[in-house]
């Protein structure tokens, strides 16, 4: 019952099997979708209209889901899709589409996401 309430009324989809470290902050969680096999590290921030999940491969199988490091700040309307690793201490700008690995200590923006600054 609680799962249905959260998904229908708050439009947040975070399955109970999702691996999430302590300190997760959700700002304006509306339209948030996270795949159950995604991994999210400690002290991450995720904003509204964000999707974190796998993708369908050309053979019809599905990829693994993203692994997100510690202290990652994810802007609104971000898509992180496929078997990617997001490093620690990363900031991802609003509207970014991340389909490749992101190193530690950087700011990433755009579609496709690209590093614009070292932190």
The residue assigned the tokens 């300190």 is 23
2 is known as an active-site residue = no
Which residue of the set 2, 28, 30, 48 is catalytic?
30
Rg (CA), the chain: 14
Determine phi and psi for 9, rounding to 5 degrees. -95, -35
Mind telling me the catalytic residues? 30
């Amino acid at each position: 019952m609680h799962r249905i309430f959260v998904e229908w009324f708050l439009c947040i989809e975070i399955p109970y099997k999702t691996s999430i470290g302590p300190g997760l902050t959700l700002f304006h969680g509306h339209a948030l979708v996270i795949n159950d096999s995604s991994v999210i590290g400690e002290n991450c921030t995720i904003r509204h209209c964000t999707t974190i999940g796998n993708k369908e491969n050309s053979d019809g199988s599905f990829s693994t889901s993203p692994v997100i490091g510690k202290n990652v700040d994810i802007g609104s309307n971000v898509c992180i899709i496929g078997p990617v690793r997001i490093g620690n201490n990363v900031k991802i700008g609003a509207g970014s589409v991340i389909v490749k690995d992101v190193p530690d200590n950087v700011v990433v923006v755009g579609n496709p996401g690209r590093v614009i600054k070292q932190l």
